[in-house]
Structure 1
Amino acid sequence: MSYDLAVWDGDRPADDLAAAAEFKQLYDRYVGSPDRVEPTARIAAYVRALLDRYPDIGTDAGEDSPWSTGPLLNEARGPLVYFPMVWRRSEEVSAWAAGLAGEHGLNCYDPQDNRLRTPAGAAWRFELTSTRGRALRDPDGELVRRELVRLSADNHYAVLKRVDGWYIQAAYGTWAGTRPGWYVLERRDGGPEKHFRAEVVNVDEVVRAFVAFLEDDPTIAVRFPWHPYVV
């Protein structure tokens, strides 16, 4: 017997009844349909975060995994992932998975209890800061671009941090240990062993990297010349 959770991208439902109705609509449209829809970037990023802690069953790393099916990404359709876990570990794992959904700005619904598991009103998901200027919360791509094109010898770094601690940052020129006029990108995907660095020649590449991070675009890992970085 499994314990299931539904996590989806969208506005927060008004209450548990509204969440139940929205889950049914999403389930009928995406899970109940014979036509498979690829998961959205935010849902795929959430599933990757689940697997960072508990790898897929059937793999060497997933020997102690709580999931009841695998690959877990196969349970993601469009803006929804509906996934099962073993019942005996459901209290611990469902609480963590619901909290992780909140950190990713997603909704988590528990069909066993017919209730929404994510708390109302996470204050923010992303925060952009720079050498000069106040912190900007949940910026859009255009605001990110406007801040980054101002990087200079006097305004030499910018950081885009996600609420779960992941981040990408950029620094300019010799201050960052690179050639004059170049930029250094760094990103950290969780723990210190997932810290990467790249050097790029123009600010357009910096903007593309920050927007990819903002949009949970998985291609960020291959679109730039990253190499492992130890501080």
Structure 2
Amino acid sequence: MSFDLAVWYEDAPITASAGLEKYRVFCDGYLDDGQNGRIVAFLADLASRFPGLKDDPEDSPWSVEPWVGHDHVLLNIRYPRAGEVEGVVRELAAEHELVLFNPQVATVRNPPRLTSLPGPTLTMCDGSVLKQPGGEALTAALRTLSDRNWFAILEIKDQTYVQVGLGPNAGLGGASGVYSLEHRDGSPERHRRHLATDLDDVIAAFVGLAADEPGWADRLTWEPVVF
């Protein structure tokens, strides 16, 4: 058994669910030589931090040598070294503007290059961040809501957002399968809540706000949120 991580290059932000699909494709096969410049630089920095199995099998953190593809690297880490190595990999992936995926918990970290873009930002409980998401991307991301990945927020600008929490984790004595949907449009007086049992209603709210669709909020019954 090993603690596994994957690092790869993306042109646009990626969700955790899309990251999992891509990771599975990478696991089906890989190329021998890293060709993407960011991957090459990442590997060089990684090698300067940790010895390879051939160089120092006792001190190397790898259970097998890193698997290198054209635009990705798969890392298999010995469990006693997992925390130490993950911290370094996270640092280097951000430095080289690469995606970091943790398959143990299916979380993805998009690099600063992709998360600093202007416009709406979707953030999921599992750590996924998606910039300027369209309707299809929002729908796919929200369909990953679960007892573990129970929260999502779409921020348009400061104090203007829609967010949702699923089940008891969302508080309010929420029951399993109930979505606590909140919308704030500026001031605290314009912070409202709708309890939904249909995920499609949640998706419609997120898509409506992202697209600045007239009247999207009028389709739901809202109550003021009092703090």
TM-score, normalised relative to structure 1: 0.45
Rg comparison, structure with higher value: 2
